[in-house]
Amino acid sequence: MRGTSPTRRAPLLAIYATLVFAFIYLPIVVLILYSFNRDGVGGFPPRQLTLDWYRQLFADGPLWDSVLNSLLVACGAVALSLALGLLAALALDRASFPGKALFRRLVLLPLILPGIITGLSLLMFVVFAGMQLSLLTVFLGHGTALISVATTEIFAGLQKLDRAQEEASLDLGATPWRTFWRITLPNLRLSLIAAGLLIFTLSMDEIAVTFFLLGRDNTLPLEIWARLRRGITPEINAISTLIFAVSVALIIVWYRIRMRSVGSGAQQLLERP
Amino acid sequence: MSGAANPQAASLDAKGPLLEVRAAAKRFGTRDVLKNISLNIASGEFLTLLGESGSGKTTLLRLIAGFEQPTGGEIWMAGERLDTLPPYRRRVNTVFQNYALFPHLNVRDNVAYGLRAQGALKSDIPGRVDEALRMVKMAEFAGARPATLSGGQQQRVALARALINRPKLLLLDEPLSALDANLRKQMQGELKALQREVGITFLFVTHDQEEAMALSDRIALLRDGTLEQVASPREIYARPATAYTAQFIGQTNLLRGEIRGSIATCGALRWPVEDADGPAVFSLRPEAIRLCTDGTRQISEVKFRASVRQQIYAGASELLEMDCGEGQLLRVRLPACGPMNGEREFVFAIADAIRVEN
């Protein structure tokens, strides 16, 4: 029991770690501070704090329209990608069919593919299909591009599922259909929520794919980007601060759910003789 | 699938077997897990599938439950072809090895699951669930989640859940193996009592021969995917058909020797038999051998001298390892008799040396 703390053993490492964290988080801190700064952007350190920028923000109709658009797209994308991802995960977990290995890779491809490629190819497809660019195309783009996220999360949930439970359900006289709704799906609840939250946040701040598929109605990130071309305004800092707060809240919720699902899985393992 | 196609349906009356396994086989890839199993189970019987792990007993259970399809043979229940039906159409229910209770449902909903799945009348459900929970003494836990219950309690809930649909046949897959020794003994008693109470046929899987002996009307001993012997506990113990059975059920001495001119010779032991000449194996239970105190023997007995190699005291009895010379060791179980050493004379009845197949 010698009192050598990690910092004493490696002071350089500690300094390095501090610098990395500062590099990551300092800009966010500055952004949050500026959103309360009466002098707006510039003038550091802030001398007078104010909520004016937030008041201005809440009165900004077009900006809130874009927030609403983003929420619509994100909710739709969650529904679409969860539905399709669930089917893909079920196929990967329990069906065996020719070309399964290829299917697995294809489903996961959008995770690795640069957004610009996904966006461009979706645009080509939309043009080919003769569709008008609108929020609908953005929703379809997000929904399909994020299937891979849903598939991986749900597949992990299925792998943890105790198959004896489904057998018990069939054994008790439930049809496979009933078993799926009453046993399989409730057991995937945590995976579905976790995947949904992740897809929601990814869709909310998606730019690359959105850029190609956007019609006349802006989503929030693109509205912010458009305004930035006219210079940074304190109002942008205010909305960014709000986004940051909501994101942190969602991440905490997601993390808690993740821990619970992992925790219960570990518990089940321990209970097994 | 139609029952009318069954040529035996007419001949099956109430006395006929409930379940008939006809030459069932199961192959996983290149491995034959079950080979040509034929087994009848009578209505109301408590039959145990006994075997080492990997002997195929759980696979046979899963064929009957419908979770696996046989690669050969047929399974019939009460005059109806069973193996072509999906699991949810079979009047067979299962108690799973780790109970497989539904973690997202409380005890009451777990037990009610079967009734709801079968579309029972809504008004009937609470009463039948309460009745089932009372039967396994779990009524006070109706609102609890499975994760909060002990192993023994989960076991009871699993029983209630499996019995609620009043199956014709209940399958139990090593249901007691997860419990500690004391609880297991207690649950054995309760299981037997429960079976008598509900009158449902039980097909019980275990690797524990004592458990099989304590519970069963008949034991079916499986070995490497084939049935070694099917008989009542008393018969399988007293008259094992094979050397494997004799060793698996209880303890025994296997005497490997030879018959020539109606005399069996196994090492230092010789006795008359009525079998043809050739090599032979006999099973002689340790308790069939007793001390020869007065030096005399009956004509139907074999007498031999042996010296004590080891003595293990077990309360009511002692287990001795005796050396009969020529390297032949015999285990002898005697009533507790105090420390012994040196040479002694023993006898056993010729009828107790059971000829078994090797």
Residue A59 has which token pair?
A: 């009165």
Alpha carbon distance A205, B180 (integer Å): 55
Q: What per-residue confidence (pLDDT) applies to B93? A: 96
CATH number of this structure's domain B251-356: 2.40.50.140
Read off the pLDDT of residues A128-162 as tens digits, 9 standing for 90 and up.
998 888 899 999 999 988 999 999 999 999 998 99
- Look at residues B358, B20, B39, B69 and name the one whose alpha carbon lies nearest to residue B222: B39
Strands B329-335 and B317-323 turn out to be: antiparallel
Q: Do B117 and A183 touch (CB under 8 A)?
A: no
- Look at residues B117, B247, B300, B60 and name the one whose alpha carbon lies nearest to residue A181: B117
Q: Do A175 and B88 touch (CB under 8 A)?
A: yes
Q: Please, which contacts does B9-12 make with residues 24 or more away whose CB atoms are closer than 8 Å?
A: B9/B79, B9/B80, B12/B78, B12/B79
Query: Closest approach of chain A CAs to the CA of B155, in angstroms?
Result: 13
Alpha carbon distance B112, A43 (integer Å): 69
Query: Closest approach of chain A CAs to the CA of B158, in angstroms?
Result: 10
SS3 assignment, position B299: coil
Top pLDDT among A267 and B217 is at: B217
pLDDT in tens, chain B (358 residues): 343 434 443 444 455 799 999 999 999 999 999 999 999 999 999 999 999 998 999 999 999 999 999 999 999 999 899 999 999 999 999 999 989 999 999 999 999 999 999 999 999 999 999 999 999 999 999 999 999 999 899 999 999 999 999 999 999 999 998 888 888 888 899 999 999 989 999 999 999 999 999 999 999 999 999 999 999 999 999 999 999 999 999 999 999 999 998 999 988 888 999 888 999 999 999 999 988 887 777 888 888 889 999 999 988 899 999 988 878 889 999 998 888 888 888 999 989 999 999 8
Are B258 and B265 a contacting pair, CB within 8 Å? yes
Residues in chain B with CB shorter than 8 Å from the CB of A174 are: 88, 113, 117
> Chain A within 8 Å of B177 (Cβ-Cβ)?
yes
Alpha carbon distance B46, B219 (integer Å): 9
The residue among B61, B94, B125 with the most chain A CBs within 10 A of its CB, best to mutate, is B94
- Look at residues B41, B26, B33, B4 and name the one whose alpha carbon lies nearest to residue B204: B41
* Number of A–B residue contacts, CB under 8 Å: 74
Are A208 and A142 a contacting pair, CB within 8 Å? no
Residues in chain A with CB shorter than 8 Å from the CB of B177 are: 273
Per DSSP, chain A holds a count of helices (H) and strands (E) of: 15, 0
Locate the domains of chain B by residue range: 3-241, 251-356
Burial class (CB in 10 A: 0-12, 13-18, 19+), A114: exposed
Q: What per-residue confidence (pLDDT) applies to A128? A: 92
Residues in chain B with CB shorter than 8 Å from the CB of A270 are: none
Angle CA A231–A237–A242, to nearest 5: 145
Buried b (16+ CB within 10 A) or exposed e, B220-238: bbbbebebbbbbebeebbe
Q: What per-residue confidence (pLDDT) applies to A42? A: 66
Alpha carbon distance A55, A238 (integer Å): 10
- Tell me which residues of chain B, numbers 65 to 124, contact chain A at a CB-CB cutoff of 8 Å: 65-67, 86-89, 92-94, 96-98, 100-104, 113-114, 117-118
Read off the pLDDT of residues A9-53 as tens digits, 9 standing for 90 and up.
688 898 999 999 999 999 888 888 888 887 766 666 767 788 888
CATH number of this structure's domain B3-241: 3.40.50.300
Considering chain A, what is the average pLDDT of its residues? 85
pLDDT band at A236 (very low <50, low <70, confident <90, very high): confident
Residues in chain B with CB shorter than 8 Å from the CB of A272 are: 98
> pTM for the full model?
0.81
Top pLDDT among A232 and B160 is at: B160
Are A88 and A147 a contacting pair, CB within 8 Å? yes
Strands B253-260 and B263-266 turn out to be: antiparallel
Read off the pLDDT of residues A178-228 as tens digits, 9 standing for 90 and up.
999 999 999 998 889 989 998 998 898 888 889 899 888 889 999 888 888
The residue among A165, A166, A171 with the most chain B CBs within 10 A of its CB, best to mutate, is A171
- Look at residues B158, B246, B159 and name the one whose alpha carbon lies nearest to residue B209: B246
Which residue segments constitute the domains of chain A, with CATH numbers given?
A: 9-50 (no CATH), 61-271 (1.10.3720.10)
Q: What per-residue confidence (pLDDT) applies to A266? A: 42
Query: Closest approach of chain B CAs to the CA of A262, in angstroms?
Result: 15
What lies within 8 Å, CB to CB, of B11 at 6+ separation is none
Q: SS in 3 state form for B111-171?
A: HHHHHHHCCCCCCCHHHHHHHHHHHCCCHHHCCCCHHHCCHHHHHHHHHHHHHCCCCCEEE
